[in-house]
Amino acid sequence: MANLTAIELVYEKFGNPTDVIHMKERKVPELGKDDVMVRMLAAPINPADINTIQGKYPVKINLPSIPGNEGVGLVEKVGKDVQKLSPGQKVIIIKPGQGTWRNLAVFNKDVLKLVPDQLGLAEAATLTVNPCTAYRMLSDFKPVREKCQVVIQNGANSACGQCVIQLCKTWNIPNVNIVRDRPEINALKDFLINLGATHVLTEKELKSTDIFKNKVINKPVLALNCVGGMNARQMIKHLNHSASMITFGGMSKKPVTIPTPAFIFKNLSFFGFWMTAWQEKATKRDKDKMWLEIINYMCEKKLHASANKLVKFDSYKEALSNSLTSQGFTGCKYILDFGSKN
Amino acid sequence: MANLTAIELVYEKFGNPTDVIHMKERKVPELGKDDVMVRMLAAPINPADINTIQGKYPVKINLPSIPGNEGVGLVEKVGKDVQKLSPGQKVIIIKPGQGTWRNLAVFNKDVLKLVPDQLGLAEAATLTVNPCTAYRMLSDFKPVREKCQVVIQNGANSACGQCVIQLCKTWNIPNVNIVRDRPEINALKDFLINLGATHVLTEKELKSTDIFKNKVINKPVLALNCVGGMNARQMIKHLNHSASMITFGGMSKKPVTIPTPAFIFKNLSFFGFWMTAWQEKATKRDKDKMWLEIINYMCEKKLHASANKLVKFDSYKEALSNSLTSQGFTGCKYILDFGSKN
C-alpha cells in the first residue's frame, strides 16, 4: 500500500509564529510494531506553543519541528504489537512534544490515551494542560478539597482559571476570583458565577474588599497566581496564616514581591507549578487517577472546555495571529480543526 | 524570712528603649510550689527585644512589662514540688516572654532548663534564639545535613549567620556566605573562614562570581535570607533547581522579589522561619534533642557565641543605645551582666 500523505505545520527556525510556521505535505512513515496512526480531529493553540515557536520556552526543541502539545484524534491503524487500541477509537495525546498540529500522524502507543466516544471535541483536545494544571494545584499543596478550605485565584477568566472554578464547584471549595476591570465586567462576573465562582472581584475591588474582615468567607489558605506584580501582592495581603501561593504564570510580566513579615509572622509559603515538570515525575497511577476523574467530570458536564473557537486547518495563520492577541473577555482559545470526521 | 528585693528593667509604654525603659526595685514574690527563684547571671539584648519595646513586634505584651526573652542564671531557691532543680545549679530560660532583664526573678520550673556548669556565660545567655534558629533552618527544609548539600546565606556575619557557619562546619555542609562590602572586609572574611565558612563573597562579588559555573562548589539547594531586596534576588539566581529559600529577617527593609520563571521552570520554593512560632508548636522531644545537641557543641567548643560584650547592669542605657546602632563588623551583641557570682 502506498504511504498516506499528511499535512503538517512545521517551523525550521524560531520566530514570530505567523512568519516561521508553514504548511507542508509529507508521506506518513511506516508503522513500527508499537506505533499507532492517528487521524487528528483537533488540537489547540496554547500560550506555551506560541512561546515554544518564539524560542522563549525552556524546553529543548530539535528543528525542524511540528508544534502542538495536546490534541485528539481517531485511531486509523495500529502496529502489530499494539493490543489495547483499535481503528476508530478516540484517543488523546498525553505527552508533550509529539507535534499535534497535523492531520495524520504516527505516535508511539504510550503517548496515547483512549477516551470515551462521548467526550466533547474541545474538552478532549484541551484536556491535558489546563484541567490537569487546575486539578494538581488544588490537590498537591493544601488539603482544600478534603477540608473545603477557601481558594483565591487571579486571572480567573483564563482557561485554567475556568477549570479551577468548575473543579472548586464540584469539590465544594469556596473560591474567590480576581479579574481585571473591563467594560463588560458584569457579563464576565455572571459568566464566572454561572461556572461556579463563589465571589468575583476586580483588582480594584480586591484592594478594599471587606468580605474577609466581615467573615462573609474565610481567608484563603491557597492562592493560585498566574499574574504576578501588584495583583499577586494584593492577594498575599488577604491570605490566612500559613497559607500557600502557587505561581504558574506571570501575565503582568512583573515578579512576585513578598514583604518579609508575610514570611516570618504570617508563615506564608510560595511554590511554582509547571504541568510539564509534573508529568515527567509523576507515576502512571497518579496520572491515570487524575485523567479518569477529569474525563468523568467532562462526560458528566461538570467540567467544560474554556471558551474556544474551532478554526479550519487551512486558516491556521488566522488562528495563530488571533492567539497572539487577546480576544474577548475569557481569552478565547483557538483550536485547529483538521476536518476529519468525528 | 523577709522578701528579697529584685532590681528590674521595666517599661510602661511602647517607645524608644532608651526613653521608656527604667530601673525599678521590687520585692520578689513568694515562691509557688512549682516556682524557682533564679539569680540571673546574664541576658542579651536582641533585635526582637528592641522591636518589642518599640511596639513593633507582633507578640502581645501586657504593660507594664519586663523585657528580655533569654538569659542564664543560678537557682537560688525552689518551690516545694520542684524535684529536678536545686540551689546553685545553672539554668537557662527557654520560653520567650518571661522578662529576663532583672537580677532576681521567680519563674515557673517549666520555663527553665538545667545546663552544665561548664557552659560558657555568653553561650548560655544566648542559646535559645540564634543557635536554635540556625539549627532549625539547616534541619527542617532540605536534607543538607544528611546529604552534605550546599547552603548559601546572606547577612553571614550576623549572630545567626555565625551559628549557621559553625553548624555547617560541624555537619560538613559546604557553605557560601554573603556579606556587605566594608573597609575591613578582609578581616571579616578571615574571621568567617576561621569559623568554618567555605566561601565568603561580598554582595558585589556574588553578582559576578563563577564559583558555581566553574563547579568550584555545587549550586546551593538551601538559601537563608535575613536581608531581602537585591541581595536576596542575587542569591536566587545562583540556586539549584528545586532549591528552597528561607526568609527569617529583612535587614534591607526591602521585600523579597521573585521572578516568575524561578517558580515555574526552576521550581524554587520560599518559606519563612520564626523561632517563636516554632517553639510554640514543637514537641518537648524535638526541643530537648536540639538543646542537647547545641549544648554539647558549645561545651566541645564547636559552637561559640557570636561576638559580644558584657555590660554591667547599671550601664543598661549605654547597652540599649549601642544595640540600636550597628557596632563593629560582626554586629556585636550586648549582654547585660547582673553581677551575680557565677
Q: What is the pLDDT of residue B58?
A: 86
Q: What is the pLDDT of residue B329?
A: 47
Q: What is the pLDDT of residue A2?
A: 62
| B58 neighbourhood in chain A, CB within 8 Å | 261, 265
Q: What is the pLDDT of residue B3?
A: 78
* Dihedral sign of CA atoms B80, B83, B89, B90 in order: negative
The span from the CA of A256 to the CA of B268, in Å, is 13
pLDDT band for position B327 (cuts 50, 70, 90): very low
Q: What is the pLDDT of residue A327?
A: 47
B-contacting residues of A 208-237, CB under 8 Å?
Answer: 228
> Of the given ranges (B34-48, B238-252, B323-337), which has the lowest mean pLDDT?
B323-337
pLDDT at A267 over 80: yes
Report the residue from A247, A266, A267 with minimal CB separation from B260: A247
A-contacting residues of B 62-81, CB under 8 Å?
Answer: none
pLDDT at B326 over 70: no
The span from the CA of A4 to the CA of A30, in Å, is 9
**Measured between CA atoms, how close is A43 to chain B, in angstroms?**
24
Q: What is the pLDDT of residues B187-228, one digit of tens each?
A: 999 999 999 999 999 999 999 999 999 999 999 999 999 999
Question: Does residue B277 belong to the interface with chain A, where contact is any CB pair within 8 Å?
Answer: yes
Q: What is the pLDDT of residue B331?
A: 67
Name the nearest CA neighbour of B178 among B159, B199, B148: B199
Is the CB of B264 less than 8 angstroms away from the CB of A257?
no
The span from the CA of A32 to the CA of A109, in Å, is 10
> Of the given ranges (A96-110, A323-337, B295-309), which has the lowest mean pLDDT?
A323-337
Q: What is the pLDDT of residues A280-293, one digit of tens each?
A: 999 999 999 999 99
Q: What is the pLDDT of residue B339?
A: 85
Mean per-residue pLDDT, B296-312 = 95
Are A257 and B232 within 8 A, CB to CB?
no
The span from the CA of A290 to the CA of A277, in Å, is 16
**Measured between CA atoms, how close is B268 to chain A, in angstroms?**
7
**Measured between CA atoms, how close is B59 to chain A, in angstroms?**
10
> Of the given ranges (A63-72, A162-171, B1-10), which has the lowest mean pLDDT?
B1-10
Q: If you measure CA to CA, which chain A residue comes closest to B277?
A: A265
Provide the ipTM.
0.93
Question: Does residue B271 belong to the interface with chain A, where contact is any CB pair within 8 Å?
Answer: yes
Question: Does residue A60 belong to the interface with chain B, where contact is any CB pair within 8 Å?
Answer: no
Catalytically annotated residue among B57, B135, B297, B316: B57
Q: What is the pLDDT of residues B87-124, one digit of tens each?
A: 999 999 999 999 999 999 999 999 999 999 999 999 99
Q: Which three cell numbers stand for residue B342?
A: 557565677
The span from the CA of A287 to the CA of B64, in Å, is 59
Are A271 and B269 within 8 A, CB to CB?
yes
Are A27 and A3 within 8 A, CB to CB?
yes
Q: Give the distance from CA A35 to its chain's centroid.
A: 26
| A266 neighbourhood in chain B, CB within 8 Å | 272
Q: Which three cell numbers stand for residue A36?
A: 499507532
Neighbours of A44 (CB within 10 A): 30
pLDDT band for position A322 (cuts 50, 70, 90): confident
- State whether residue B255 is helix, strand or coil: coil
Number of residues in chain A: 342
Are B257 and B95 within 8 A, CB to CB?
no
Instruction: Please state, rounded to an integer, the average pLDDT across all residues of chain B.
Output: 94
pLDDT band for position B28 (cuts 50, 70, 90): very high
H or E stretch including B114? strand B112-114
Q: Which percentage of chain B shows pLDDT scores above 90?
A: 91
Q: What is the pLDDT of residue B143?
A: 97
Mean per-residue pLDDT, B135-150 = 97
Q: If you measure CA to CA, which chain B residue comes closest to A271?
A: B269
Mean per-residue pLDDT, A151-164 = 96
Q: What is the pLDDT of residue A331?
A: 67
Report the residue from B58, B247, B268 with minimal CB separation from A260: B247
pLDDT at B237 over 70: yes
Q: What is the pLDDT of residues B47-62, one digit of tens each?
A: 899 999 999 988 889 9
| A273 neighbourhood in chain B, CB within 8 Å | 263-264
H or E stretch including A145? helix A144-147
Relative orientation angle of helices A130-139 and A284-299, to the nearest 10 degrees = 110
Residue found under cell 576561621: B194
Alpha-carbon torsion angle A299, A302, A308, A310, nearest 10: 10
**Measured between CA atoms, how close is A54 to chain B, in angstroms?**
16
Q: Which three cell numbers stand for residue B105?
A: 526573678
B-contacting residues of A 97-156, CB under 8 Å?
Answer: none
Q: What is the pLDDT of residues B146-182, one digit of tens each?
A: 999 999 999 999 999 999 999 999 999 999 999 999 9
Q: What is the pLDDT of residue B330?
A: 54
Residue found under cell 495525546: A93
For residues B208 and A327, which has the higher predicted lDDT (pLDDT)? B208
Is the CB of B271 less than 8 angstroms away from the CB of A269?
yes
Phi-psi region of A82 (alpha: psi -120 to 50; beta: other; left: phi over 0): beta
Is the CB of B261 less than 8 angstroms away from the CB of A58?
yes
Q: Which percentage of chain A shows pLDDT scores above 70?
A: 97
Report residue A195: phi and psi, to 5°: -70, -25
Catalytic-residue membership of B135? no
The span from the CA of A76 to the CA of A28, in Å, is 12
pLDDT at A330 over 60: no
B-contacting residues of A 235-254, CB under 8 Å?
Answer: 247-250
| A261 neighbourhood in chain B, CB within 8 Å | 58, 250
Is the CB of B264 less than 8 angstroms away from the CB of A258?
no
